[in-house]
Structure 1
Amino acid sequence: MTRSYRIASVPADGIGPEVIAAGLEVLDAVASRDGGFTLNIDHYGWGSDWYRKHGVFMPPDGLAWLRTADAIYFGAVGDPNVPDHVSLWGLRLQICQGFDQYANVRPTRILPGVTSPLRDVGPGDLDWVIVRENSEGEYAGQGGRTHRGLPEEVATETAIFTRRGVERIMRYAFQLAQSRPRKHLTVVTKSNAQRHGMVFWDEIAGLVSHDFPDVTWDKELVDAMTMRMVRKPQTVDTVVATNLHADILSDLAAALAGSLGIAPTGNIDPERRAPSMFEPIHGSAFDITGKGIANPVATFWTGAMMLEHLGEKPAADLLMRAVEQVCAAGILSPDLGGKATTKEVTAAVVEAVRGMNR
């Protein structure tokens, strides 16, 4: 019996529609090649254009519509004419928090044919997964401003750390590290300066570690972690950090692997109470919107993560082998030093999928 999945497509802004269209084309080729499942796509035109017309980024019942999906395939949100905090909280964070997608998972590795800016580092030397707490911390949305415009104006941004929130992301990270060959986890904080929330993180990491005796783990301050990622990438495997720290570290990781254009992410609800959301992390990139040169590889990799989450790991593996084959052949977009357009990279991956041996 053919398995059927409903996918909510939310391309949103900038290059989002370009790369999501490319991703859907490749996913269709994978589904056709596999034959065991079908993807039924629901298209949602929410984003900054919708905001300009309606005053909101999604309709009031938007989450209810998305809840009918098995997974969400998201492009990027952001517009030069809309403040970033308005667009981010209006769409992406509304979905992440509305569905309690508390684990943001960002794998990073150097793909064949892609050159890292790090000297003498190649495929196999940099193979990481960064787990970002995705529901509270520095992005909890707590705080405010008073006495606006006056000399005594005050702005507060309160980071929220709960025992439930920290323990569940720590447990998820240890489980993920346990599933990887090296079984090693690095817990990143800033507990020397942030003596309450970050010390709390360290303490809970120590408690949770007792349930995973086969996982080795260490602690690193976030500033030291940036140096370690650059100077000793082979010592890093699985990483867990707060909402803000992991956001920054994962962008550094993508750059060290070659480009933001190849970096995927999944906003996961491990309990599967609601659909999880999968997106490339490169943002809306309005500077190249409409030029046909956006790198779709991150969106393909994101699609592979989505397939694996749906239980279609063989199809996910096939897609990633096709992506690696195309990159190794030098069919690369300009951000990776190549000359291929979005459509040319997409066509090459589709062709590779169709000719790929199982």
Structure 2
Amino acid sequence: MRQRFQLPEGVIYLDGNSLGAMPRAVPARMHRAIEQEWATGLIRSWNDADWYPAPQRVGARIARLVGAEDNEVIVADSTSVNLFKLLVAALRMRPGRSLMLGERGNFPTDAYVAQGVAEITGTQFRAVEPDEVLAALNEDVAVLALTHVNYKSGQAYDMAAVTRRAHEVGALVIWDLAHTAGAMPCALNDCEVDFAVGCGYKYLNGGPGAPSFAFVARRHQEGLRQPLTGWHGHARPFAFTHGYEPAPGIDRMLVGTAPQLGLIALEAALTAFDGVDLQALRAKSVALTGLFIALVDQELGAHGFGLATPRDPALRGSQVSLTHPEGYAIVQALIARGVIGDFRAPDILRFGFAALYLGHCDVWNAVAALKSVMAEGDWRKPEFMARKAVT
């Protein structure tokens, strides 16, 4: 599937867990959207180019990657905004319960949003260590909000087991799939998940700032009362009535006008998954990450690296995170050699393995480059030590 992506010569791209590579289908589709549909079609393109139903149409494509039905996923807003909507909606569905439960070490925006929701709703947000989540679940918990694959360590939860335990105490579950969707199979309905959010620009390759998606299990849709009641979530948006009437089904998750150019890019990008067996994708991901860990053990033992990612493939996503006190400078020196990963404070060197466009030779060459950086001391150069705005 590598031929479906436009990758620069001489670059080994190991940062698809932060911003996915661009699929070759995107530029031509964007050109048509800009030059024909916007420039020529103008406002007629909402109907003539099928812009209006794009959130549902693109959501259906994503649904097939996360184990959901077409009418259970919709594309809208950002991950943070969708998480806010679902947290409030889940709290409303569990009156009398006062606690939102999360994990320490989660991506900060998830905690920030939960803290904001707690302030607005008068509830409490509590974060515990990942290995304490199951024990912390009790009848006070209204909603459990977790990220399936941790953004720093790459460690993955057992979605089915955690969801089952939450349901046993009567809690609802929201999974953040930012580092799952497009990287590995996900079985939302088989695991009886209540809600999920996910990112469009990591392993789904939708481009910088691509819109997010939200999943609401069909059994919850008619009782869902999300707090941002905008006109596109109305049952009859173009009736322009003053009273809010929620749209049926998943459409009530919409708020305002969809960002069409972002949706169009994401829709084109998702064609890179056409015909892909997600089990084969996962098998290759496990092989790539396993090879990387083995080569780090073999080649870099003298250079002070630690491993933050589980060795057990069942417990990791599609990334490997190393630790080193000089992690930032090492990553910058590696990027200068054409191997692109990223850094997360305080000491994480993060490498994502998008199995659609990476091969085993890429892994070998990446570790060889990292070994050279360490052996030659490149990371000590001042230009690599200076921190940039985006790490």
TM over 0.5: no
TM, length-normalised to structure 1? 0.29
Highest CA radius of gyration, 1 or 2? 2
Q: Which has the higher strand share?
A: 1
The normalised TM-score by structure 2 is 0.28
